[in-house]
Structure 1
Amino acid sequence: MRPLTPALAKIAKEQLNEIPERVEQDLFILRVWIRQQIHLRARTSDEFLIAFLRCCSYSLEETKKRIELFFHFYNVLPQIFYNRLVTDRILHMNRCGIHIYPEFPKCDNNTALLMVRCGQFSRKQHRQCELIKFVTMAMEIMALENDNANVAGVTQIVDLAGIENAFFHSFDHHTMKMWYFWIRDCLPLRIKQVYFINASKDMLRMMQIQKFFQNETDYPMTVLKTTEELYNHVPRKCLPEEYGGYNGHIAECIGYMEDTLRSYKTYFEEDILYGMNENLRSGDVIPYEAEFGLEGSFRKLELE
Structure 2
Amino acid sequence: MSDVYICQLPAEVQKYAAEVLNETEESRQNAFKEIKEWAASNQYLHVRTEEKYILPFLRCCKFNIERTKEKMKNFYVMRRERSEWFTNRNPNLSQIQQLVKNGSCLILKKTHENHLVVIIRPTVHDPKRHGMDDVLKCAKMILDIGVMEEELSQVYGVIVIIDMANVSFAHARQLSISRIKHMVYAWQNYHCRPKKMEFVNAPAYINVVLDVFKSFMSEKLRKRVTVRYDGIASVVNIVDKAILPCDYGGEDGSLEELGRYWNEKLRSYTDWFVEDEQYKADLVK
> Shorter-chain TM-score: which interval?
0.7 to 0.9
Corresponding residue number in structure 2 for 1:298: none
Corresponding residue number in structure 1 for 2:74: 69
Answering whether residue 105 of structure 2 is matched by residue 129 of structure 1, we say: no
SS across alignment from 2:117: strand
Q: CA deviation at 1:272?
A: 3.9
2:143 maps to a residue whose letter is M
| Shift in alpha-carbon separation, 1:82–1:233, aligned structure 2, 3 A | closer
1:209 maps to a residue whose letter is L
2:106 to 100, 109, 121: 100
Matches within 5 A, 1:217-232: 217-219=219-221, 220-226=224-230, 227-232=232-237
Contact 1:240–1:246 under 8 Å retained in 2? yes
Instruction: Find the aligned partners of 1:243 and 1:210 in 2 and give their Cα distance.
Output: 26
1:218 maps to a residue whose letter is K
Instruction: Find the aligned partners of 2:12 and 2:257 in 1 and give their Cα distance.
Output: 26
Which TM-score applies when normalising by structure 1? 0.82
Answering whether residue 202 of structure 2 is matched by residue 199 of structure 1, we say: yes
Contact 1:75–1:276 under 8 Å retained in 2? yes
Instruction: Find the aligned partners of 2:165 and 2:123 in 1 and give their Cα distance.
Output: 6
Contact 1:102–1:247 under 8 Å retained in 2? no
Instruction: Find the aligned partners of 2:257 and 2:32 in 1 and give their Cα distance.
Output: 35
Contact 2:116–2:153 under 8 Å retained in 1? yes
| Shift in alpha-carbon separation, 1:249–1:224, aligned structure 2, 3 A | same
Contact 1:140–1:187 under 8 Å retained in 2? no
Instruction: Find the aligned partners of 1:9 and 1:258 in 2 and give their Cα distance.
Output: 32
Answering whether residue 52 of structure 2 is matched by residue 47 of structure 1, we say: yes
Instruction: Find the aligned partners of 1:232 and 1:38 in 2 and give their Cα distance.
Output: 46
Supply the RMSD in Å over aligned alpha carbons: 2.1
| Shift in alpha-carbon separation, 1:7–1:79, aligned structure 2, 3 A | same
Q: CA deviation at 1:20?
A: 2.6
2:262 maps to a residue whose letter is M
Contact 1:197–1:224 under 8 Å retained in 2? yes
Corresponding residue number in structure 1 for 2:3: none
| Shift in alpha-carbon separation, 1:240–1:192, aligned structure 2, 3 A | same
SS across alignment from 2:130: coil
1:164 to 143, 150, 168: 168
* Identity over aligned pairs, percent: 25
Partner deviation per Cα, 1:205-246 (whole Å, 9 max, x = no partner):
x53333223242523211112133333333322322221122
| Shift in alpha-carbon separation, 1:83–1:166, aligned structure 2, 3 A | closer
Corresponding residue number in structure 2 for 1:242: 247
Q: How many matched pairs?
A: 275
The more displaced of 65-74 and 224-233 is: 224-233
